[in-house]
Structure 1
């Protein structure tokens, strides 16, 4: 779940993006994973889904190599777009922190 206020809006990066509604300081924990609420599918379960369902999970989720399963988050973190110059990063496979100060309204 988010530890900061965010919203989803149109994005130039990927159509829909996640934007902060507050100033975030470098090193601040902005998101903590809630595994009990997220969807986890084995490769076999994923293969049983129809093509549209697979495409949705591939777009909004990811394959977790460490855990060997497909992951789809239950909340708006799925709108967090991938950028070559990222302003956040995963720590300990459990939470996201800011790599630098992030201004209010920034994607």
Structure 2
């Protein structure tokens, strides 16, 4: 669950992204995993989902921080957070996310997917892949 005000807008990184709607200070806690807020999806359920739903889940989820049998779907704008090799956040804690630089209003909030997705790899751009792009194996969002 994001703990700062954000909005969704066009991103130069990947289609849409999540942007700061307020000034965020370096070191500020910006995200907390909240099982009462974020949707948990059992990996075992994926095969039974309709194809379009499964693609959505695979694109916008990430692994549960303590239970590998589940994926997490952020119920807020966090699912649109894009990957960066030079992110302005730190999610190595898995349950908490911090700003590692001052983030100005209007600036895109980014994270390094490899911090919480051990198998993360960058997929080819949409035009090359012929489909949605995102993190592998579980998705593109935080």
User: For this pair of structures, how many residues does the alignment match?
Assistant: 107
Once the two structures are TM-superposed, the CA of residue 96 in structure 1 deviates from its matched residue by: 1.2
Once the two structures are TM-superposed, the CA of residue 26 in structure 1 deviates from its matched residue by: 1.1
What residue is the counterpart of 2:81 in the other structure? 80
What residue is the counterpart of 1:49 in the other structure? 49
Between Structure 1 and Structure 2, which shows a larger proportion of strand residues?
A: 1
Once the two structures are TM-superposed, the CA of residue 2 in structure 1 deviates from its matched residue by: 2.8
Once the two structures are TM-superposed, the CA of residue 65 in structure 1 deviates from its matched residue by: 6.9
Alignment RMSD: 1.7
Query: Which ranges in structure 2 are unaligned for 5 or more consecutive residues?
Result: 109-142
TM-score, length of structure 1 as denominator length: 0.87
Task: Work out the CA distance in 2 between the residues paired with 1:38 and 1:3.
Answer: 13
Over 3 Å counting, the alpha-carbon distance change for 1:106 and 1:29 in structure 2 is same
